[in-house]
Protein backbone atom coordinates (compact mmCIF):
# COMPACT_ATOMS: atom_id res chain seq x y z
CA UNK A 1 0.00 0.00 0.00
CA UNK A 2 2.97 2.32 0.61
CA UNK A 3 3.81 2.40 -3.11
CA UNK A 4 0.24 3.40 -3.97
CA UNK A 5 0.25 6.12 -1.32
CA UNK A 6 3.50 7.54 -2.70
CA UNK A 7 2.08 7.41 -6.24
CA UNK A 8 -0.90 9.49 -5.13
CA UNK A 9 1.41 12.21 -3.80
CA UNK A 10 1.32 13.66 -7.34
CA UNK A 11 2.11 17.27 -6.44
CA UNK A 12 5.45 16.43 -4.88
CA UNK A 13 8.79 17.25 -6.48
CA UNK A 14 10.40 14.73 -4.13
CA UNK A 15 11.64 11.44 -5.59
CA UNK A 16 9.14 8.75 -4.41
CA UNK A 17 11.98 6.71 -2.91
CA UNK A 18 12.90 9.69 -0.68
CA UNK A 19 9.32 10.63 0.21
CA UNK A 20 8.47 10.30 3.93
CA UNK A 21 5.38 8.11 4.31
CA UNK A 22 3.73 10.60 6.67
CA UNK A 23 3.44 13.02 3.70
CA UNK A 24 1.65 10.45 1.52
CA UNK A 25 -2.16 10.35 1.42
CA UNK A 26 -3.80 7.36 3.10
CA UNK A 27 -5.79 5.05 0.81
CA UNK A 28 -7.22 2.58 3.28
CA UNK A 29 -10.82 3.29 2.23
CA UNK A 30 -10.20 3.48 -1.54
CA UNK A 31 -11.70 1.08 -4.07
CA UNK A 32 -9.22 -0.96 -6.09
CA UNK A 33 -10.01 -3.12 -9.15
CA UNK A 34 -7.37 -5.56 -10.45
CA UNK A 35 -6.93 -6.50 -14.12
CA UNK A 36 -4.71 -9.07 -15.81
CA UNK A 37 -4.13 -7.18 -19.07
CA UNK A 38 -4.32 -3.81 -20.75
CA UNK A 39 -4.43 -2.68 -24.36
CA UNK A 40 -1.72 -0.27 -25.54
CA UNK A 41 -2.59 1.77 -28.64
CA UNK A 42 0.21 3.73 -30.25
CA UNK A 43 1.40 5.17 -33.54
CA UNK A 44 4.10 3.19 -35.33
CA UNK A 45 4.54 4.81 -38.79
CA UNK A 46 7.07 2.16 -39.82
CA UNK A 47 4.44 -0.56 -39.19
CA UNK A 48 1.57 0.03 -41.58
CA UNK A 49 -0.73 -2.51 -39.93
CA UNK A 50 -3.47 0.03 -39.26
CA UNK A 51 -4.74 3.38 -40.50
CA UNK A 52 -1.83 5.80 -40.43
CA UNK A 53 0.40 3.34 -38.60
CA UNK A 54 -1.87 2.97 -35.55
CA UNK A 55 -1.10 -0.25 -33.73
CA UNK A 56 -2.66 -2.04 -30.78
CA UNK A 57 -1.25 -4.75 -28.52
CA UNK A 58 -2.28 -6.57 -25.36
CA UNK A 59 0.12 -6.38 -22.43
CA UNK A 60 -0.45 -9.07 -19.81
CA UNK A 61 0.32 -9.67 -16.18
CA UNK A 62 -1.54 -12.76 -15.12
CA UNK A 63 -0.86 -14.96 -12.09
CA UNK A 64 -1.63 -18.18 -14.00
CA UNK A 65 -0.95 -18.60 -17.70
CA UNK A 66 -1.45 -21.93 -19.38
CA UNK A 67 -0.61 -22.25 -23.05
CA UNK A 68 0.76 -25.54 -24.32
CA UNK A 69 3.47 -26.80 -21.99
CA UNK A 70 3.92 -23.43 -20.28
CA UNK A 71 2.22 -22.94 -16.91
CA UNK A 72 2.69 -20.29 -14.26
CA UNK A 73 2.55 -16.51 -14.25
CA UNK A 74 2.95 -14.40 -17.38
CA UNK A 75 4.30 -10.96 -16.68
CA UNK A 76 5.14 -8.90 -19.76
CA UNK A 77 7.77 -6.20 -19.96
CA UNK A 78 7.02 -2.65 -21.07
CA UNK A 79 8.70 0.52 -22.26
CA UNK A 80 7.83 3.60 -20.21
CA UNK A 81 8.38 7.33 -20.80
CA UNK A 82 11.72 8.24 -19.27
CA UNK A 83 12.82 11.45 -17.60
CA UNK A 84 13.84 12.82 -21.01
CA UNK A 85 11.17 11.49 -23.43
CA UNK A 86 12.56 13.60 -26.29
CA UNK A 87 15.93 11.78 -26.13
CA UNK A 88 16.45 9.44 -29.10
CA UNK A 89 15.69 5.71 -28.85
CA UNK A 90 16.29 3.90 -25.58
CA UNK A 91 17.85 7.00 -24.02
CA UNK A 92 14.32 8.40 -23.62
CA UNK A 93 12.75 5.19 -22.34
CA UNK A 94 12.70 3.04 -19.23
CA UNK A 95 12.15 -0.72 -19.09
CA UNK A 96 9.91 -2.38 -16.52
CA UNK A 97 8.36 -5.76 -15.74
CA UNK A 98 4.61 -5.54 -14.95
CA UNK A 99 3.41 -7.33 -11.82
CA UNK A 100 -0.11 -5.96 -11.59
CA UNK A 101 -2.58 -3.73 -13.43
CA UNK A 102 -5.15 -1.99 -11.26
CA UNK A 103 -7.53 0.94 -11.12
CA UNK A 104 -7.83 3.05 -8.01
CA UNK A 105 -10.58 5.44 -6.91
CA UNK A 106 -9.38 8.17 -4.56
CA UNK A 107 -10.53 11.63 -3.38
CA UNK A 108 -13.39 11.93 -5.84
CA UNK A 109 -11.34 10.83 -8.83
CA UNK A 110 -12.96 7.60 -10.02
CA UNK A 111 -10.16 6.13 -12.05
CA UNK A 112 -6.41 6.11 -11.64
CA UNK A 113 -5.32 3.38 -14.10
CA UNK A 114 -2.02 2.09 -12.70
CA UNK A 115 0.57 -0.65 -12.90
CA UNK A 116 2.87 -2.07 -10.25
CA UNK A 117 6.25 -2.51 -11.96
CA UNK A 118 9.74 -3.81 -11.25
CA UNK A 119 12.28 -1.53 -12.92
CA UNK A 120 15.15 -2.63 -15.15
CA UNK A 121 18.34 -0.63 -15.66
CA UNK A 122 20.39 -0.35 -18.83
CA UNK A 123 23.89 -1.79 -18.67
CA UNK A 124 26.26 0.81 -20.03
CA UNK A 125 25.48 3.96 -21.96
CA UNK A 126 25.11 2.49 -25.43
CA UNK A 127 23.88 -0.66 -27.17
CA UNK A 128 26.00 -3.82 -27.08
CA UNK A 129 28.67 -3.64 -29.81
CA UNK A 130 28.22 -7.29 -30.86
CA UNK A 131 24.41 -7.38 -31.13
CA UNK A 132 23.41 -3.72 -31.50
CA UNK A 133 20.82 -4.29 -28.75
CA UNK A 134 20.56 -2.58 -25.38
CA UNK A 135 21.38 -4.80 -22.42
CA UNK A 136 19.16 -4.41 -19.36
CA UNK A 137 19.08 -6.08 -15.96
CA UNK A 138 16.60 -6.01 -13.06
CA UNK A 139 17.18 -3.21 -10.54
CA UNK A 140 17.51 -4.12 -6.88
CA UNK A 141 17.73 -2.01 -3.73
CA UNK A 142 20.32 -2.83 -1.06
CA UNK A 143 22.40 -5.93 -0.66
CA UNK A 144 19.33 -7.93 0.36
CA UNK A 145 18.16 -7.64 -3.26
CA UNK A 146 14.78 -6.01 -2.73
CA UNK A 147 13.20 -5.39 -6.11
CA UNK A 148 13.08 -1.72 -7.13
CA UNK A 149 9.33 -1.43 -7.61
CA UNK A 150 6.90 1.44 -7.99
CA UNK A 151 3.40 2.32 -9.12
CA UNK A 152 3.07 4.17 -12.43
CA UNK A 153 0.14 5.70 -14.29
CA UNK A 154 -0.79 3.77 -17.45
CA UNK A 155 -0.51 7.00 -19.48
CA UNK A 156 3.28 6.68 -19.14
CA UNK A 157 3.26 3.20 -20.73
CA UNK A 158 4.55 3.40 -24.31
CA UNK A 159 4.72 -0.10 -25.68
CA UNK A 160 5.25 -3.75 -24.82
CA UNK A 161 8.86 -4.96 -24.81
CA UNK A 162 10.24 -8.43 -25.50
CA UNK A 163 13.48 -9.10 -23.67
CA UNK A 164 15.86 -11.77 -24.88
CA UNK A 165 17.61 -14.02 -22.34
At 3-60, the pLDDT tens digits run 655 555 554 455 555 555 555 555 555 667 788 888 877 766 666 655 666 777 888 8
Provide the CB-side half-sphere exposure for 84 (13 A, CA): 6
Residue 145 located in a structural domain: yes
User: Would 69 be classed as within a structural domain?
Assistant: yes
Q: Residues 47-76: what's their mean pLDDT?
A: 75
- Asked, for residue 12, whether it belongs to a domain, the answer is no
Query: Which one, of 114, 55, 119, 56, lies nearest residue 82 by Cα?
Result: 119
Does residue 13 fall inside a structural domain?
A: no
For residue 140, give its domain range: 31-161
pLDDT score of 160 more than 80: yes
Q: Which of 96, 86, 102, 112 is nearest to 157 (CA)?
A: 96
Say what the pLDDT of residue 95 is.
95
For the sheet with 70-75, list strands across it.
37-43, 54-67, 70-75
pLDDT digits (tens, 9 = 90+) for 92-133: 899 999 998 988 776 666 677 889 999 999 998 899 999 999
Q: How many CB atoms lie within 10 A of CB 95?
A: 23
Number of domains in the chain: 1
Q: What CATH number did the domain enclosing 135 receive? A: 2.30.30
With respect to residue 16, please indicate whether it lies within any of the assigned structural domains. no
Using DSSP's 3-state secondary structure scheme, residue 154 falls into helix
Element (H, E) at 140: strand 140-141
Give the span between the Cα atoms of 147 and 165, in whole angstroms: 19
Across 127-144, b (16+ Cβ under 10 Å) vs e yields eeeeeeebebeeeeeeee
Query: pLDDT higher for 85 or 79?
Result: 79
Domain contains 2: no
Residue 46 maps to a domain: yes
Structural domain includes residue 41: yes
Q: How far apart are CA 150 and CA 10, in angstroms?
A: 13
Amino acid sequence: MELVECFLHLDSDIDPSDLPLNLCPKVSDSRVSVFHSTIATFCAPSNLSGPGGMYQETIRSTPQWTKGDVSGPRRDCILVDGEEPSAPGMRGLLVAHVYLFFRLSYAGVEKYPCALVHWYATVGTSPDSATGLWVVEPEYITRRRYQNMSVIHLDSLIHGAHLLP
